[in-house]
Amino acid sequence: MTVSNARGLQTTLTAGAPLGVGLRLLQPNDAPAVQAVFAGLGPQSRWLRFLSGKPALTDADLRQLTSVDGWTHLAVVASTLTSQQPIGIARFVRDRLDAGSAEVALAVVDAWQRRGIGGLLADCLIACAVAVGVRRLTMTVSAENAGVRALLDRSQLEVTRMDLGFGVWEYAVALERPWDDQARRSQPGRSGARPVDAGRPRPTIAPETVDPSAA
Ligand SMILES: CC(C)(COP(=O)(O)OP(=O)(O)OC[C@H]1O[C@@H](n2cnc3c(N)ncnc32)[C@H](O)[C@@H]1OP(=O)(O)O)[C@@H](O)C(=O)NCCC(=O)NCCS
């Protein structure tokens, strides 16, 4: 995939080295990586990831989870640097009706959870999303999902939350381009932290940030 305006993306893709982890973009022939990460999730993690008890991935699941094009569907894989074992995947899929918005899912194998991999994947996915013009990320998760809550708190991004009922929440995260962030911080009286504010309007899509021919 080529992302012409992916400032800092290469740096982000190599940011895992101190943890002994490499990041790369998932490719359509990466079904073994998808299977490996799924196999490393216990029942609770599978439930949190798929919001259903999922004993195995079907062929249709695998097709869908590897149907990446780097534009409407982009995924990042974390693997150990020593054995190249896939240990986590984060992805976004664009909304069909709103190309500036995309739904996120991520999972880190149980043995590697709480070691910074989820945060690393989230940072990388956000950098990729910004690079290809996504301005809003949503996540549909269990209200009990403390890991996602902690990841969102740590991101310092502007997060809104909607209760979808049945113990499921939708989080929406407004993304900023680095130059927006700089402009925002240079405004007097603005701090870096962005609080949760359920009343905030959806951000508009800035067309100049995207270059479809580069996907
Ligand atoms: C959510 C998930 C991806 C987080 O990955 P991770 O590698 O454990 O995350 P990190 O190690 O980067 O942790 C990031 C923060 O979350 C916190 N955290 C992670 N899991 C947590 C948990 N179960 N309870 C409370 N806090 C948790 C960490 O302490 C850390 O906080 P800190 O920065 O203040 O120290 C991982 O727990 C997972 O795969 N869960 C199952 C699937 C899932 O829930 N996916 C999301 C919905 S699609």
91-117: pLDDT as tens digits: 999 999 999 999 999 999 999 999 999
Range scoring the smallest mean pLDDT among 47-56, 70-79, 125-134, 178-187: 178-187
Three-class SS of residue 29?
Answer: coil
In a domain, 129, yes or no: yes
Question: Domains in the chain: how many in total?
Answer: 1
In a domain, 204, yes or no: no
Average pLDDT over residues 174-199: 50
In a domain, 74, yes or no: yes
Sorted by sequence, the CB contacts under 8 Å of residue 99 that are 6+ apart come out as 133, 205
Which is nearest to 79 in space by CA: 19, 22, 146, 2? 22
- The backbone torsions φ and ψ at residue 14, rounded to the nearest 5 degrees and listed phi first, read -105, 5
Residue 72 maps to which CATH number? 3.40.630.30
Alpha carbon of 4 to ligand 1 centroid (Å): 31
Name every protein residue with a CB atom under 6 angstroms from any ligand 1 atom.
Answer: 45, 48-49, 105-108, 113-119, 141, 145-148, 150-151, 154
pLDDT value at residue 193: 33
- Residue 127 sits in which domain range? 9-192
Average pLDDT over residues 71-97: 96
